[in-house]
Structure 1
Amino acid sequence: MNRTTLSLAAAVTALAAVTGFAALSAPEGGTGTVTNTALPARLPVERSTLLCPAPSNSEVAETVYTSFTPVGEGEGAGQAELKPSAATADETTADPKKASTAKKAPAADKPVVALTQPGKPVSAEADGGDAPALVGSASGRLAPGWTAQQTTKVPAGGGRGMLGVSCTAPDTDFWFPGASTAAQRADYVHLTNPDDTATVADIELYGPNGALKTQLTEGITVPARSSVPVLLSTLTADPAAEDVTVHVATRSGRVGAVVRSADEKLGSDWLPASADPAGTLVLPGIPADATSVRLVAYAPGEDDAQLKVQLAGPAGTIVPAEARELHVKSGMTAAVDLKDVTRGEAGSLLLSPAQKGRATPVVAALRVVRGKGGDQEVAFIPATGPVGERATAADNRAKGTTLSLTAPGETAEVKVTASAGTEGGTPATKTYTVKGGTTLAVAPPVPAGLKGSYALTVETVSGGPVHAARTLAEPDDGIPMFTVQTLADDRGTVEVPTARQDLSVLGD
Structure 2
Amino acid sequence: MNRAPLPLLGIVAGLVALVGVATLRPDGQETTTLELAAPLPVERTTLTCPRPTDAESATTWYSAVTPPTGGTRFDEGSAALLPAPEYRQELDEPADEENAEDGEENAEEPAEGAADEPAEPVIELAEPGVPVTVRVDETGAPALAGTAEQLLAPGWTVQQTTAVESGEGQGLLGTSCQVPDTEFWFAGASAAEDRHDYVHVTNPDEAATVVDIEIYGAQGELAAEHGQGITVPGRSSVAVRLSTLLSDAEPGLAIHVAARSGRIGAQVEVVDEALGTDWLPPVTAPTADTVVLPGIPAGVRAARLSVFAPGDEDLSLEVGLAGPGGTITPAGHETVAAHAGTVTTVDLGDLTQGEASSLVLTRAAGSGAGPVIASLQVVAGEEGERESAFIPATAPVDERASIAGNTTSGTRLSFLALEESVEVEVSYSAGADGGEPVEETHTIDPGTTVTITPELADTEGNYAVTIRPAGGGGTLYAARTLLVDRDGTTTFTTQTLPDDRSTVSVPETGPDLSMLID
TM-score normalised by structure 1 residue count = 0.89
Cα distance, 1:254 vs structure 2: 1.1
The residue identity in structure 2 corresponding to 1:421 is G
| SS of equivalent to 2:196 | strand
* Equivalent residue, structure 2, for 1:397: 407
**Do the aligned residues in 2 keep the contact of 1:405 with 1:468 (CA within 8 Å)?**
yes
Q: In structure 2, list runs of 5 or more residues that go unmatched.
A: 1-13, 24-30, 96-102
* Equivalent residue, structure 1, for 2:241: 231
The residue identity in structure 2 corresponding to 1:339 is G
**Do the aligned residues in 2 keep the contact of 1:47 with 1:140 (CA within 8 Å)?**
yes
**How many residues get paired?**
477
* Equivalent residue, structure 2, for 1:251: 260
* Equivalent residue, structure 1, for 2:183: 173
* Equivalent residue, structure 1, for 2:86: 88
1:49 correspondence with 2:59: no
* Equivalent residue, structure 1, for 2:388: 378
1:68-467 paired onto structure 2 within 5 Å = 68-73=65-70, 74-76=72-74, 77-85=76-84, 87-89=85-87, 102=111, 104-106=113-115, 108-216=118-226, 218-237=228-247, 239-278=248-287, 279-355=289-365, 359-446=369-456, 448-462=457-471, 463-467=473-477
Pick which of 141-150 and 95-104 moved more: 95-104
Q: In structure 1, list runs of 5 or more residues that go unmatched.
A: 1-25
The residue identity in structure 2 corresponding to 1:460 is P
Alpha-carbon distance in 1 for matches of 2:284, 2:245: 24
Alpha-carbon distance in 1 for matches of 2:91, 2:513: 65
| SS of equivalent to 1:64 | strand
The residue identity in structure 2 corresponding to 1:202 is D
| SS of equivalent to 2:304 | strand
The residue identity in structure 2 corresponding to 1:348 is S
Once the two structures are superposed, residues 13-61 of structure 1 have per-residue CA deviations (whole angstroms, 9 ceiling, x without a partner) of: xxxxxxxxxxxxx9xxx99999835443211111000000111111211
Cα distance, 1:94 vs structure 2: 7.3
| SS of equivalent to 2:151 | helix
| SS of equivalent to 2:142 | coil
Alpha-carbon distance in 1 for matches of 2:410, 2:83: 30
1:65 correspondence with 2:62: yes
**Do the aligned residues in 1 keep the contact of 2:312 with 2:370 (CA within 8 Å)?**
no
The residue identity in structure 1 corresponding to 2:53 is S
Alpha-carbon distance in 2 for matches of 1:397, 1:168: 21
Alpha-carbon distance in 2 for matches of 1:311, 1:267: 26
* Equivalent residue, structure 2, for 1:23: none
Cα distance, 1:423 vs structure 2: 1.2
Alpha-carbon distance in 2 for matches of 1:174, 1:186: 20
Alpha-carbon distance in 2 for matches of 1:474, 1:271: 19
Cα distance, 1:330 vs structure 2: 0.6
Cα-Cα RMSD: 2.6
Match of 1:473 among 468, 483, 498: 483
Cα distance, 1:159 vs structure 2: 2.6
**Do the aligned residues in 2 keep the contact of 1:83 with 1:136 (CA within 8 Å)?**
yes
> Highest Rg: 1 or 2?
2
**Do the aligned residues in 1 keep the contact of 2:484 with 2:491 (CA within 8 Å)?**
yes
Once the two structures are superposed, residues 266-312 of structure 1 have per-residue CA deviations (whole angstroms, 9 ceiling, x without a partner) of: 10000110124223200000011101111001001000101111100
**Do the aligned residues in 1 keep the contact of 2:300 with 2:355 (CA within 8 Å)?**
no
Large movers: runs of 4+ above 6 Å: 30-35, 96-101, 502-507
**Cα 1:223–1:329, aligned 2, differ >3 Å: closer, same or farther?**
same
Alpha-carbon distance in 2 for matches of 1:356, 1:424: 55
**Do the aligned residues in 1 keep the contact of 2:385 with 2:489 (CA within 8 Å)?**
yes
**Do the aligned residues in 1 keep the contact of 2:484 with 2:490 (CA within 8 Å)?**
yes
**Do the aligned residues in 1 keep the contact of 2:415 with 2:450 (CA within 8 Å)?**
yes
The residue identity in structure 2 corresponding to 1:88 is E
Alpha-carbon distance in 2 for matches of 1:454, 1:226: 29
* Identity value in percent: 49
